[in-house]
Structure 1
Amino acid sequence: MITPAGTTAVGVDVGTTGVKAVLLDEAGRVVADAAEEYPARYVEPDGAEQDPEDWWAATARCVNAVLARARVRPADVCGVGISSQAPSVVVVDRAGSPVRPALLWLDRRGRRACEDRADVTGRVLATTGNRLDAYFAAPKLAWLLAAEPAVGQTGAGVLMANGYVVSRLTGVRSCDTGHAGLTLLADLDTGAWSEQLVDLWGIPRGWLPQVEQPTTVVGRVTAEAARATGLLSGTPVVAGLVDGAAASLEAGLVQHGDVCEMTGQSTVVNAAFEASRLRRDELGTMSVLPYPVPGHHLVYGSMVSTGGILRWFRDEFGDRERQLAGLDGDVFAALDELAGTAPLGSRGLVLLPYFLGERSPVWDPAARGALVGLSMASRRADVVRAILEGTAYGLAHNLEELGRLGLAPRVLRSVGGGARGRTWNQIKADVTGLPVETPEDARGAPVGAALVAAAGVGLIDDLAATVRTRQGVVRRVLPDADRHAAYQRYYSVYRELYPALRRTYDALATLRAELAP
């Protein structure tokens, strides 16, 4: 075990819309935080890309900011952990520089690569626990190697989003077990790369880094990275983890059946699941990845765009809220307050939140958003509330799927940026019929990343015990029985919409592909 040099740990989450960083003390309390947004580029009809340099630059600035705000010396930091959006992949050359923009988890250009391998669906599921789908990393890489042959000639390695930032910090290439589990290249039981699957997807074996446990120290901050981040050269950096797993640690998921939802760009419904109870052929629409709590996997249902829809509304139609919030104000809080002025059901509006296709439970890349029920009486507040309600209906749909696996939570824990919305939390409670609990000081995935770093360097002895004891103070939002009954009727309409629009979605997907500029 490495003896920690300090009594604080830095956690960073490299998200889809931006970086968030926190500094935790030895008691697991957040001492300081920082955040910075960056853009993504959407390539019609199915592409989504990002500049990895944006990840690194935002990370460096946010780490500098938390050190300054907490007024701690670099020597007081004992370790660094990085979580990230997943699976987002970047191909690097021998020097570790990206050869092209990263492919985000949203990118679905690997659809044909999956269709071409449909005959091995059972083998992929049996080995990885996951379905054959373009959401995962291997189909993205297979598409990239076929579409851009130069990448195969100049590339020398592939990294996940957090792995890229770890490599910028340490000069070491690595991949944690959780991210490896989202590639369709790794064995769920052993955590190691499967040679059969690597060959199946045509990925150069030399590209794949060593798979490590999230708490394993994989390297130390270099002198160059120290100058960029303000950290001390030589500070240990652990392998890190997937953002959903990190957020689940903050939410206190440590035993079978614990459930939380994490809302940022997307919403992910996570459940701690004892590995010995997992039956891969029964997962259905759910996905699975290794979890840092020993003996457990994380079973999850993942939507694509939830908080991202609210961000889209903010950017395209939120001028009024931006003016009210001012330069330093929280526009999302203003939108949440606006939604609270609209009635339950948004005056008859129902939104399908499939703005970028959908993962669980429908797994349809052709699906798109729909706002049904508009009339001349509809107001801006109704539309914003419909966004919050529609994403809550999607949450309820995923909870139904967990119920199929025998998981029936008595409470729903909520973390991530979406957990800050008072109106949104009440809607989630009323739609699902479950009490919604949020940590008193919810920060999401970067907290889990810092906890993993603290465990990796010995600042904390027992990760699960620390996660459990952090859950002392929570905000609790109770469902209202009458509102839940009303929402059940709207939810029935919501469930009917996607089947009714499926042929329309397929037709529009064909048009987009044929007529894309």
Structure 2
Amino acid sequence: MTYTLGVDIGTFESKGVLVDGAGAIVAQATAPHEMIVPRPGWAEHRADEDWWGDFVSITRELLAGSGIDPSDIACVATSAIGPCMLPVDEEGRPLMNGVLYGVDTRASAEIEDLTDSIGARVILDRCGNALTSQSVGPKILWLARNRPEIFAKTAKVLNSTSYLNFRLTGDYTIDHYTAANFSPLYDVTRCDWTDALADFLPLDRLPRLLWSTEIAGHVTEAAAAETGLAPGTPVTAGTIDAAAEAVSVGVRAPGDMMMMYGSTVFIIEVTADRVTDPRLWYAPWLYPGSHASMAGLATSGTLTHWFRDRFARELPRSEAFPALAAEAAESPPGANGLLMLPYFSGERTPIHDPQAKGAFFGLNLTHSRGDMYRALIEGIAHGTAHVFDTYREAGAAPSRVLAVGGGVKNATWLQATSDIGGVPQVVCDKTVGASYGDAFLAACAVGRAEPDDIDRWNPVARDIAPETHDIYARHHPLFLRLYEQTKDIASELGE
């Protein structure tokens, strides 16, 4: 029997699994870490401690707990939060904390400047995406402008997964799906880096491009000594965590959509053709000739953590979320007349507004903590429904929505998403997440599985049908109006 190892680095927690050839999980491990917020609008991780440190501790725990001989691991695959920006020196040493994905909005001025200088239409046509806080290119320009001493020492600009693979193999690689988020430095028409649109970074400072199931390299002696893995073990190119999570529940055919309930809501739909809409993101999917259309909220599960830490301090952490969920379930749909805008870190799709602000609207002296928590959950669901509306308008309505992530344990959140968005969802048997998708991609990379085998590895377990509530039909347009009618105030507050 041989095994594959998958490790995923998330926003607040990393997870790893060892999986056998039939898809059974033989060992799991987790490691928590924090998201660093040095100032409003910034979000960071420490590359060595949070990314590589978690990988090492998880891998050692999996090997020790399972008793599996490291030489029986056929392949390793990693995923991590992304797209991120990490400058490293000639030796591959991080020069600063990793700047995180779209929740980090520090490069707003650079987004505007690049869009003005290159042209919004040119960027959309060549890169498949409008420049937003999700784009790595503007963050690299921010680095050049604001930290010139670091930029001068930068030999490579990596993503989180790229850094893990460098530590494992000694090679600088990145998968195409992740690279597409480096706009305007990646040309989706050629699936290659480009300096035709911007000249602020020499292309030799970017990693080598691969598809996700290509082998990026092999575990070095130094990495083996740290992790306990066998030297020479193949390592795939990997991908962003959301893509691996989509793989884990069977997203592979056009019309399949993943709804990831995590620290952010992230959505991936595989499409037959390229979807070009400035409100959504585009990337080549994990295999040559395939396409993906993406969307994501800026704060989702992060908001539940925020609410717990501020309004449920009297409860033990292990009991807080179940207690809050029970209180929210006691509040009726519509949260007794409360609306909540979930824009606590600005917003990504579809409004792409880094100045958007969070708000509870409609509060009165009768409202309870349960009402507020339900309004928070429904606010995230309204934001998600806004994304579903956008897919429909772009001609890419999904044919199947597969739910995954820690939030699927929250029945109120799951049901509200179906009810407000008007979409049925399915939940698969295993909701382990991206690390399970990594293990499956590793098996595919070495010929021990085919893409269609995921249905056997992780079959559908249950369905969530949308229920009709008149209050949601009335509240959703009000949610959209509340943002439109307050965005000028929010922008001025941010000045």
TM-score normalised by the chain length of structure 1:
0.91
Cα deviation, residue 226, structure 1: 2.0
One-letter identity of the residue aligned with 1:107: D
1:320-351 per-position Cα deviation (integer Å, ceiling 9, x unaligned): 442563xxxxx444433332222211121111
CA contact (8 A) 2:279 2:350 kept: yes
1:122 is the counterpart of 2:121 = yes
* Residues 1:435 and 1:447: Cα distance change in structure 2 (over 3 Å): same
2:257 paired residue number: 259
Cα deviation, residue 310, structure 1: 0.7
CA contact (8 A) 1:86 1:179 kept: yes
Which residues of 2 match residues 231-380 of structure 1 at below 5 A?
231-274=229-272, 277-280=273-276, 283-322=277-316, 325=319, 331-380=320-369
CA distance in structure 2 between the aligned counterparts of 1:315 and 1:226, rounded to whole angstroms: 39
2:109 paired residue number: 112
CA distance in structure 2 between the aligned counterparts of 1:168 and 1:335, rounded to whole angstroms: 41
One-letter identity of the residue aligned with 2:454: V
CA distance in structure 2 between the aligned counterparts of 1:82 and 1:383, rounded to whole angstroms: 37
Secondary structure at the counterpart of residue 100 of structure 1: coil
1:24 is the counterpart of 2:52 = no
CA contact (8 A) 2:162 2:207 kept: no
1:505 paired residue number: 490
Cα deviation, residue 411, structure 1: 4.3
Question: Which range is displaced more, 344-353 or 67-76?
Answer: 67-76
1:62 is the counterpart of 2:55 = no
Instruction: Work out the percentage of aligned pairs sharing the same amino acid.
Output: 32
CA distance in structure 2 between the aligned counterparts of 1:114 and 1:479, rounded to whole angstroms: 38
CA contact (8 A) 1:254 1:293 kept: no
1:513 paired residue number: none
1:467 paired residue number: 454
One-letter identity of the residue aligned with 1:13: D
Secondary structure at the counterpart of residue 355 of structure 1: coil
CA distance in structure 1 between the aligned counterparts of 2:199 and 2:138, rounded to whole angstroms: 7
CA contact (8 A) 2:213 2:442 kept: yes
1:514 paired residue number: none
CA contact (8 A) 2:255 2:399 kept: no
Cα deviation, residue 18, structure 1: 2.1
* Residues 1:64 and 1:340: Cα distance change in structure 2 (over 3 Å): farther
* Residues 1:473 and 1:134: Cα distance change in structure 2 (over 3 Å): closer
Which residues of 2 match residues 26-175 of structure 1 at below 5 A?
26-53=21-48, 54-105=50-101, 106-117=103-114, 118-120=116-118, 121-175=120-174
1:439 is the counterpart of 2:428 = yes
* Residues 1:302 and 1:72: Cα distance change in structure 2 (over 3 Å): same
CA contact (8 A) 1:88 1:103 kept: yes
One-letter identity of the residue aligned with 2:481: E
One-letter identity of the residue aligned with 1:479: P
* Residues 1:451 and 1:323: Cα distance change in structure 2 (over 3 Å): closer
Secondary structure at the counterpart of residue 116 of structure 1: helix
Cα deviation, residue 241, structure 1: 0.8
One-letter identity of the residue aligned with 2:266: V
Cα deviation, residue 45, structure 1: 4.1
* Residues 1:68 and 1:46: Cα distance change in structure 2 (over 3 Å): same
CA contact (8 A) 2:5 2:439 kept: yes
CA distance in structure 2 between the aligned counterparts of 1:337 and 1:67, rounded to whole angstroms: 38
Cα deviation, residue 134, structure 1: 3.4
Question: Which range is displaced more, 490-499 or 58-67?
Answer: 58-67
1:395-450 per-position Cα deviation (integer Å, ceiling 9, x unaligned): 11101111112233354211111122222212222222322211122012112222
Question: Which range is displaced more, 144-153 or 104-113?
Answer: 104-113
Secondary structure at the counterpart of residue 203 of structure 1: coil
CA distance in structure 2 between the aligned counterparts of 1:98 and 1:321, rounded to whole angstroms: 39
CA contact (8 A) 2:78 2:238 kept: yes
CA distance in structure 2 between the aligned counterparts of 1:322 and 1:411, rounded to whole angstroms: 38
2:215 paired residue number: 217
**Structure 1, unaligned stretches of length 5 or more?**
1-5, 326-330, 511-517
CA distance in structure 1 between the aligned counterparts of 2:19 and 2:284, rounded to whole angstroms: 24
CA distance in structure 1 between the aligned counterparts of 2:63 and 2:336, rounded to whole angstroms: 47
CA distance in structure 1 between the aligned counterparts of 2:463 and 2:199, rounded to whole angstroms: 46
Cα deviation, residue 288, structure 1: 0.8
CA contact (8 A) 1:430 1:480 kept: yes
CA contact (8 A) 1:107 1:140 kept: no
CA distance in structure 2 between the aligned counterparts of 1:136 and 1:72, rounded to whole angstroms: 40
CA contact (8 A) 1:176 1:239 kept: yes
* Residues 1:251 and 1:206: Cα distance change in structure 2 (over 3 Å): same
CA distance in structure 2 between the aligned counterparts of 1:448 and 1:201, rounded to whole angstroms: 36
1:488 is the counterpart of 2:484 = no
CA contact (8 A) 1:336 1:424 kept: no
Count of paired positions:
490
Cα deviation, residue 104, structure 1: 0.9
CA contact (8 A) 2:133 2:348 kept: no
CA distance in structure 2 between the aligned counterparts of 1:150 and 1:50, rounded to whole angstroms: 20
Secondary structure at the counterpart of residue 195 of structure 1: coil
CA distance in structure 1 between the aligned counterparts of 2:427 and 2:318, rounded to whole angstroms: 27
**Structure 2, unaligned stretches of length 5 or more?**
none
* Residues 1:42 and 1:201: Cα distance change in structure 2 (over 3 Å): farther
CA distance in structure 2 between the aligned counterparts of 1:319 and 1:383, rounded to whole angstroms: 15
CA distance in structure 2 between the aligned counterparts of 1:315 and 1:449, rounded to whole angstroms: 32
CA distance in structure 2 between the aligned counterparts of 1:435 and 1:205, rounded to whole angstroms: 44
Cα deviation, residue 294, structure 1: 4.6
One-letter identity of the residue aligned with 1:195: D
CA distance in structure 2 between the aligned counterparts of 1:408 and 1:96, rounded to whole angstroms: 43
One-letter identity of the residue aligned with 2:257: V
